[in-house]
Structure 1
């Protein structure tokens, strides 16, 4: 980061975390799915997505040393890819909450709005379950930024190595 501030701001660090965590989960899922795809064109699209995400992660990970207070230690290990796989589920849950929230603001039919609201509440409850699963297992140390970012680096490195 030549010519700019010596570190990232807190808010951009959290956006960086969200992007890395989400893309890491998707990368794991896409790499696992690719060998089972039968359609060559769809295989090509998955391969392109994988290359794109790998490139994104490599670029984004270069900013982690500039995160506020980022300690230079490896996080405690977790079996296999549980961190990345649970992060993918958390990303799905967050996206569901966001999508239903947006859909509600665009809905004119009261009956459909009621269904969307019910689905939103279910999505919020599911998000809490996934978050707590990760928090209890040390996979999402929400109250420790150093550990959170170190976990991102570890999970992304595992996904890139697949």
Structure 2
């Protein structure tokens, strides 16, 4: 899409938010998967490797979450603000011509 049209329709911000939220959700999934794998592995060596990967996945999640909070894209501690942001994004998505 043309950058001017992205700006006028709000898609420039929405695009950044969508990418960041997708990355955040993917990192949450990675944390869950590594945590499950750590509890099911057969050897201490594998457990240690997976535990390190789990730690890195949690660090990544924290970094993404802090970025989103700093940009006003995510409000995990203010549910009413997050709902307002979600409703605003819904309205933007609905106003985009198909």
Shorter-chain TM-score bucket reads 0.7 to 0.9
The size of the alignment, in residue pairs, is: 86
Q: What is the deviation of 1:158?
A: 4.8
CA distance in 1, matches of 2:13, 2:54: 32
CA gap 1:89/1:158 in 2 versus in 1, 3 angstroms: farther
Local SS of the residue matching 1:79: helix
CA distance in 2, matches of 1:104, 1:134: 28
Q: What is the deviation of 1:146?
A: 1.4
Question: Residues 106-149 of structure 1: CA distance to partner in whole angstroms, max 9, x if unpaired?
Answer: 10122111110000000010011000000001101122211111
User: Greater relative contact order (Cα 8 A, min sep 6): structure 1 or 2?
Assistant: 1
With normalisation by structure 2, the TM-score equals 0.75
Q: Report which stretch shifted further, 88-97 or 77-86.
A: 77-86
Question: Residues 73-112 of structure 1: CA distance to partner in whole angstroms, max 9, x if unpaired?
Answer: xxxx672411121110100111111110011111012211
Q: 1:108 aligns with which of 36, 39, 42?
A: 42
CA RMSD of aligned residues (A): 2.1
Q: 1:121 aligns with which of 51, 55, 66?
A: 55
Higher helix share: 2
CA distance in 2, matches of 1:134, 1:96: 18
With normalisation by structure 1, the TM-score equals 0.47
